[in-house]
Amino acid sequence: MTSSPHSSPAKRYVTSLIRHRIERGGERLWRFEDFSDLPFTAVAQALSRMTRSGQIERLSKGTYYRSRHTRLGKSRPNPVAIRQLASRRMSIFASGVAAANLLGFTTQNPPRGELATSGLSLPRKLVGADIIIHTRRPEAWSNLSPTDAALLDFLRRGGRTSELSPDATIRRVVKLLSEPGRFERLLKVAGTEPPRVRAILGALGELLKGRDRQISRLRASLNPLSRFDFGILAGLPNATSWQAKERRRRETL
């Protein structure tokens, strides 16, 4: 007669097996999926006991880390591996200066990282305590490439994260939108974007050839009485016709 997986000997065996795997694995991240061949309840209990005894550290629900000792103390999880793990749970996108860097508008690497997600939050232990997190991005962003999502983030900010001159910024945005299929992909998700972004997309699309029918839908989606802050993209030659607020002239002393 075989032992029930809920019996004490079986639990001790599973605990011993998990501990052996973790010790043999050295420094790394562990998830419940790494023990899919074992009873879930027994795995959860074993990992909980190892956490309480200090053998591993719980980073978030179902994610644990086994450190190694160094001269400076316990090692910390690899930030790249941590972010990759977080991105497997929900969509994560570059934001702010990081998005501008990805698109070639700046060479800066900000001291504090910045991320956007379609979720309500991101686990701080996975992405970092100092990361600036922007939540509730449209779920439609999940179908975009990292570059497409970064461009939408850039447009949401009116291009203010660019190090380039306003004219050079506009030229680069138009060049990015001219790449095959990009404007069409952004147009598909434009309905989930704020009116300001739809207006900017419309103004940019008007500068591209053969987009008249597509941009007419964007114009129809806007309240004709509204005025929008285009940021430095207010320098677009057709910004006013797309309801951009007039730029204030700087007074000379």
Report the C-alpha gap between 58 and 50 in whole angstroms: 10
- Average the pLDDT over 110-124 and give the result: 74
* Whether residue 251 has pLDDT greater than 90: no
32 and 105 fall within a common domain: no
55 and 143 fall within a common domain: no
Residue with the bigger pLDDT between 69 and 244: it is: 244
Report pTM. Answer: 0.66
CATH number for the domain harbouring residue 34: 1.10.10
102 and 147 fall within a common domain: yes
28 and 102 fall within a common domain: no
Q: Which domain holds residue 57?
A: 8-71
CA 55 to each of CA 10, 21, 22: distance values in angstroms, whole numbers, following the listed order: 21, 13, 9
- Summarize pLDDT for 66-87 with one digit per residue, the tens: 887 777 677 766 555 555 555 5
CA 122 to each of CA 34, 66, 87, 139: distance values in angstroms, whole numbers, following the listed order: 22, 21, 9, 15
> Comparing C-alpha atoms, which of 144, 134, 130, 155 is closest to residue 234?
155
20: in domain: yes
State the pLDDT at residue 122: 66
Tokens at 160, concatenated: 């203010």
State the pLDDT at residue 92: 80
105 and 177 fall within a common domain: yes
CA 74 to each of CA 27, 63, 69, 125, 207: distance values in angstroms, whole numbers, following the listed order: 10, 18, 5, 16, 55
144 and 200 fall within a common domain: yes
61: in domain: yes
160 and 206 fall within a common domain: yes
CA 68 to each of CA 17, 57, 73, 109, 192: distance values in angstroms, whole numbers, following the listed order: 20, 12, 8, 29, 46
How many domains is the chain built from? 2
- Summarize pLDDT for 172-215 with one digit per residue, the tens: 999 999 999 999 999 999 999 999 999 999 999 999 987 888 89
State the pLDDT at residue 126: 61
- Average the pLDDT over 109-121 and give the result: 76
Q: Show which of 21, 54, 71 is a domain's final residue.
A: 71
State the pLDDT at residue 220: 94
103 and 215 fall within a common domain: yes
State the pLDDT at residue 83: 55
163 and 221 fall within a common domain: yes
State the pLDDT at residue 191: 94
175: in domain: yes
- Average the pLDDT over 92-117 and give the result: 85
> Comparing C-alpha atoms, which of 55, 96, 59, 95 is closest to residue 78?
59
Least confidently predicted of 131-145, 153-167, 187-201? 131-145
Least confidently predicted of 90-104, 192-206, 212-226? 90-104
Share the mean pLDDT of the chain.
83
Q: How confident is the model at residue 90 (pLDDT cuts 50, 70, 90)?
A: low
27 and 145 fall within a common domain: no
